[in-house]
Amino acid sequence: MISSIPNFFCCITNPCRNKVELKNESNYVVKYEAYIYRGATISKIDAAIGAGGFNGKTALEIIQSEKIQPEVRCIPKNSSVHVTCSYGGKIAIRYFMVGLHLDYTDELANFEVLDLVTFPQPDQDDINSVIFNNKEIKKVKKREERERKAKEEQEEQEKIERKAIEKKCSSLSKGMCSDMSNTPKKQCPRCDDWYCNHHHAINSKGVWGGHICKT
């Protein structure tokens, strides 16, 4: 979880007057996205982040619609980085801990220049909860992948069957063909021609049914 100390740095300290410090106090590498914004966009993002129940998703949609490009970096364990803004600027930050989270968390928070933003080490209960949720997410993704593959295989099979139905029987005795409109045709393994059920069998004697194979 992100925490911060607002206005941690003295405003007259020149090196910090247009910077936000991000400090990783965890045992994980933290990867973050920092969106630097200003002007009218600030009020819209502030309102979205301040509205309960959205988990930052609404604010992220606004950021993306405004085409605000993020700064993307990694913070090593127990290290700090600085994000440079304009004077009085704001940033929105989202993150994940590499090796713990599978993707960015739903958390998206606003910070201003002179703030000290920290990523504390999660307690063991939180770590266990994340690991458990990761396992459940992986199970769901595996199930969805199996369902996707099964659907693709079914669609491919239906496509093959449709093509087989659309084939014309190669027999010249069309009057004896079995249901031509909706019956899949079969390919002769010897001559490679396609035939309806009535003409599919090889019958070189020319007696009832089948076809005289050309090979």
Residues (pLDDT < 50) of the chain are: 53
Q: How far apart are CA 174 and CA 158, in angstroms?
A: 26
Q: What is the pLDDT of residue 9?
A: 59
Rg (the chain; Cα; Å): 33
When the pLDDT of each residue in the chain is averaged and rounded to a whole number, the result is 82
Question: How many Cβ atoms from other residues are within 10 Å of residue 173's Cβ?
Answer: 11
DSSP letter for 88, please: T
One-character DSSP codes across 6-25? TT-S-TT-GGGTTEEEEEEE
Q: Which CATH class is domain 3-124?
A: mainly beta
**Beta bridge partners of residue 110, listed in sequence order:** 92
Q: What is the pLDDT of residue 212?
A: 79
Q: What token pair was written down for 187?
A: 């390919």
Q: What is the pLDDT of residue 39?
A: 67
Q: What is the pLDDT of residue 115?
A: 85
**What are the start and end residues of each CATH 2.60.40 domain in the chain?**
3-124
Q: What token pair was written down for 60?
A: 């992220």
Q: What is the pLDDT of residue 173?
A: 76
Taken as a whole, the chain contains a residue count of 215
Q: What is the pLDDT of residue 15?
A: 55
Q: What is the dihedral of CA 111, 116, 119, 125, to 10 degrees?
A: -90
* pTM greater than the 0.75 cutoff: no
Asked if 6 and 109 count as a contact pair (C-beta separation under 8 A), the reply is no
Q: What is the pLDDT of residue 136?
A: 92
